[in-house]
Amino acid sequence: MSKIAEKFGIKQALKDLGLSEINHGSSTGTNWFSNGEVIESYSPVDGALVGKVKATTKEDYEKVVSTAEAGFKEWRKWPAPQRGEVVRQFNEELRRLKEPLGKLVSYEMGKSYQEGLGEVQEMIDICDFAVGLSRQLHGLTMHSERPGHRMYEQYHPMGIVGIISAFNFPVAVWAWNTALAWVCGDACIWKGSEKTPVTSVACQNIAAKVFEKNKVPAGISCLITGDYKVGEMMTQDERVPLISATGSTRMGKKVAQTVAGRLGKSLLELGGNNAIIVTPDANIKNTVIGAVFGAVGTCGQRCTSTRRLIVHEDIYDKVKDAVVNAYKQIKIGNPLDENNHVGPLIDKDAVKNYQNALDKVVEEGGNILVEGGVLDGDGYESGCYVKPAIAEAKNDYEIVQHETFAPVLYLLKYSGDVEDALKLQNGVRQGLSSAIMTNNLREAERFLSVEGSDCGIANVNIGTSGAEIGGAFGGEKDTGGGRESGSDAWKVYMRRQTNTINYTTELPLAQGIKFDL
C-alpha cells in the first residue's frame, strides 16, 4: 500500500467494502468465481496497485447467464413494490458506505474525492427515484372502437439487461441502469470497465449482501469482468434482449451493429463534443464558473465535459481573459486532497491522446492560450497528471470535430446573432450536452426551440456537465440516442403489451366483416 493510500484511508476503505488481495470478477450474487487471467488495477493517482481481479472466461459467462435466466423467472413475479423495497435497502447500504466507496472511486479512477462522493450520491438519488417508481409503472387505458371492449397497455419486465459501463463514472452509470431495471423486474449483468475493476467488485459486494438478506433469487445482480471480448459475449448473446452501453462512439457503433444483427435492443450513451454559447448578454462571472468546471472537472473525462466555448466577437476578449486568468488558479494534484481541483487522467494512453490533440490543433492553425503539458516530479510519479489547456481554434478543424477525453478547451469566435452560434454548436457529429449563457429571453428560447440546439441536453445559464436524476439523460446523433435515469427512461427496460378485452357474449369483427359459424 502506497503512502498516499495509507494517509487517505484507502486500506480501510477496501476493508469496509469487503475487498481481498485477489478478487473474483464473476458473480451471480454472493457466489463468486473466475477462471480467467488476473487483471491488475493501478491507480493513476500514484501508480500504486489498487487490487487484482480475475477475469471472466467463456465458461464463467455461461454460468452467469444461465443463473440470471433462472433468477429472472422468479424475480419477475415479485410485486414491483417488493422489488422497490430491496432497492431501498441497497440504498441504505450505499449511504452507510458512501465515504469508503467514494474514496475508492477517487483513487482507482482519479477524479477528485468530492466528485467521488458526488458519484455515490448519484447512486443514492437514483435508488430513491427507483423506489418511488416501483409503485408507478403505469400503463394507459384507451377507448375501443368496438362496443363492450376495453383496451389498455401494460409493461412487463424485459428479461436480462446487459450493462457495459466506462471508467469515468465507474459506479453511477451502473446504478442508473440497475436501480430502474431491478424495480422493473429485470436481471442485470454488468461488465464494468477493465480500468476500474476493483470498484465494480465493491459495488457487486454491496448489492449481493442486500439481495441475499432478502432472499432475492441468485442472478438478479451479476458481474463479469474483462476487456472488450467479455463485452462481446453479451452483445452477441440472444438471451440478453437489451444492451445498455456507455463509452466512445466507435465502441457504440460496434455494439449497435452487433445487437441489431440479432434484433436486440440497445441503449447507447456515447461521445460528446459539448459547447457553451456565450452571447453579448451573458453574465461573465457565471460563464467563467460554468466553462472552467465543465472543461476541467474530472480532468475533462466526462461525456458532458465542455469542449468548445463559442463566444460573440463583442465580448470575446473579455471572456478569453477571464477564463485564462481562472485557469491560473487551478490546483492540480492528488485528488484525495480536497485542496486540489484536478486529478490525473486515467492512464498514459489518455495522456498521449491529450498531447496529440494539442499538437494537432497547432498544426491546423490554432493558437495555444494556456499551455498544456505533462507534470512530473514529486506527487506526479504516475505520469498521468496534465495541465488543463486552452486553444483558440475554428470549428471545422478536424481535431475540434472529435472528442478528446482530456482537459482541452477550444475557444471559438462568432459574429452576428445566435443563429450563427447555433450553426457552430450543431456543426459536429456528437449531440449530447449544450448550453447558452444569456440574459436575453429571445436568445434563450431560440436556443431551446425546435430550430435550436440539436442535443439531448440543452441548458440555459448553467454549464454542460452534470445531470439531475429526475430528467432523462442522453443525446442524439453520434451520441447514440439513448436515455437513462429519470423521466420515463424506465420504459426501455420493459416490454410494452397492448391488451383488448371483450366482455360481451358476441365477437364483432373489424370493419363490419361477418363470419358466421
Q: Which amino acid is at 290?
A: G
Q: Are 101 and 17 in contact (CB under 8 A)?
A: yes
Calculate the alpha carbon distances from 170 to 147, 209, 369, 447 in Å. Answer: 54, 20, 33, 32
Percent of the chain that is helix, strand, coil (3-state, to 5): 40, 20, 40
Contacts of 35 (CB under 8 A, 6+ apart): 54, 57, 59, 60
Calculate the alpha carbon distances from 100 to 13, 19, 201 in Å. Answer: 4, 11, 14
Q: Which amino acid is at 39?
A: I
Pairing of strands 472-473, 484-485: antiparallel
Residue 338 a catalytic site member: no
- DSSP, collapsed to helix, strand or coil, labels residue 500 as strand
The residue behind cell 477517487 is 106
The rounded distance, in Å, linking the Cα atoms of 169 and 176 is: 11
Catalytic member of 194, 269, 403, 443: 269
Neighbour count for residue 55 (Cβ, 10 Å): 22
Please, what is the Cα angle at 36 between 31 and 37, to 5 degrees? 130
Backbone angles phi, psi at 351, to 5 degrees: -65, -40
Backbone angles phi, psi at 91, to 5 degrees: -60, -40
Hey, which residues are catalytic here?
269
